[in-house]
Amino acid sequence: MVRLGVVARLAVPEWTGAPSRIPMKTMIAATTLAAALLDTPAFAANLSAAQVQARLSAAGYTQVHELEHDDGVWEADVTRKDGTVDEVIIDDTKGEIFDPRDGRALLDAGQILALAGKAGLTQIESLERDGATWTLDARNARNQRVEVRMSGHDGRVLASKRDGWWD
């Protein structure tokens, strides 16, 4: 737990008073600093193309024909061991591979819409299944237009990109 007196000393290093006698300006600055430090999510590093190719190879794909980073995920055209070619999606941070033929159950459109609502998305304008993921255009909690990519297996948001700056 972060003590306000410690944060106040970080915000205003020259202040040496007791925590119970914090000046109002210092209290506001310390509270703002504490909120910023504690509320900021840790961003995971994005996977490089080489890391993605290594994961695909380790997962048993024999060839990667095309690899593109698009809207917060990697998209790859791959050849499986059985010779079939298809597109797979790779989560940019965790490296999870979303292959529509990997045998995992896929959520239907109704389930995805329900999970999107729980994630704070409203005014969903389009919904499209893309392999083992779903892409939708909606509004986020700030009423901003966003393009969202969701897992087709559990409905978690994989990537969200603001769609335009004018709204």
Q: What pLDDT shows up at residue 9?
A: 47
Whole-Å CA distances, 149 to 22, 61, 126: 46, 23, 12
Q: What pLDDT shows up at residue 71?
A: 82
Nearest to 149 by CA among 73, 68, 51: 73
Mean pLDDT score, 89-114: 95
Q: What pLDDT shows up at residue 37?
A: 41
Q: What pLDDT shows up at residue 55?
A: 96
pLDDT at 135 over 80: yes
> CATH: 1.10.10, 3.30.200, 3.10.450, 1.10.1070. Which one for 49-98?
3.10.450
> Where along the chain do its domains lie?
4-39, 49-98, 109-162
For 5-38, the pLDDT digits (tens) are 444 444 455 545 555 565 666 555 555 544 444 4
Question: At the top level of CATH, which class does the domain 109-162 belong to?
Answer: alpha beta
pLDDT averaged over every residue in the chain: 82
109-162 has the same fold as 49-98: yes
Q: What pLDDT shows up at residue 110?
A: 97
